[in-house]
Amino acid sequence: AQSVSQHNHHVILSEAASLELGCNYSYGGTVNLFWYVQYPGQHLQLLLKYFSGDPLVKGIKGFEAEFIKSKFSFNLRKPSVQWSDTAEYFCAVNVGYSSASKIIFGSGTRLSIRP
C-alpha cells in the first residue's frame, strides 16, 4: 500500500529564511504528487502538483517542489519565507489513472515563522 512520510513534524524559522520540507512516498508505479497547505482554522488548499513532465514544479506564493523519482521524494521549497506562511503543510499522493483512487496524506509539517 502506498504511504507518505513527512520528516519534520514542526519547523520554526525566522522571516526571510529558506525553507525545505521533506516528503517521501512509497509506491513504485505512476504517482501524482501534491502539496497542500492548511492555514489555521481553514480548509486544505493546493500549493502545487506534479503529474508528469518537468520534475521541478512551481506553485503559488513562491513555493516550488522537486520530484526525484530515484529517491521517491517530492520536497517542498521556498527561498524566503514570510510570517503569512505560518500553516500546516501536507504532502499527498494518489496513484495512477482512471480509477478514482484515494489521496493519501502525510502526517503534516507545522511551519511557524518568527516575525
Partner 1 sequence: AAGVIQSPRHLIKEKRETATLKCYPIPRHDTVYWYQQGPGQDPQFLISFYEKMQSDKGSIPDRFSAQQFSDYHSELNMSSLELGDSALYFCASSLTSATVNTEAFFGQGTRLTVV
Q: Are 32 and 98 in contact (CB under 8 A)?
A: no
For partner 1, the closer CB: 77 or 110: 110
- 100 Cα distance to chain centroid: 21
Q: Which amino acid is at 13?
A: L
For partner 1, the closer CB: 97 or 115: 97
Q: Contact between 67 and partner 1 (CB under 8 A)?
A: no
Q: Contact between 60 and partner 1 (CB under 8 A)?
A: no
Candidates 14-22, 66-74, 75-83, 101-109: pick the segment binding partner 1 (CB under 8 A). Answer: 101-109
- State which of residues 25, 34, 63, 74 lies at the interface with partner 1 (CB under 8 A): 34
Q: Contact between 32 and partner 1 (CB under 8 A)?
A: yes
CB atoms closer than 10 angstroms to residue 35: 25
Q: Are 105 and 91 in contact (CB under 8 A)?
A: yes
**CA pseudo-torsion sign 6, 75, 21, 58:** negative
Q: Which amino acid is at 87?
A: A
Nearest approach in angstroms of CB 99 to partner 1 is 7
Contacts with partner 1, residue ranges (CB under 8 A): 32, 34, 36, 42-46, 49, 51, 90, 94, 97-108
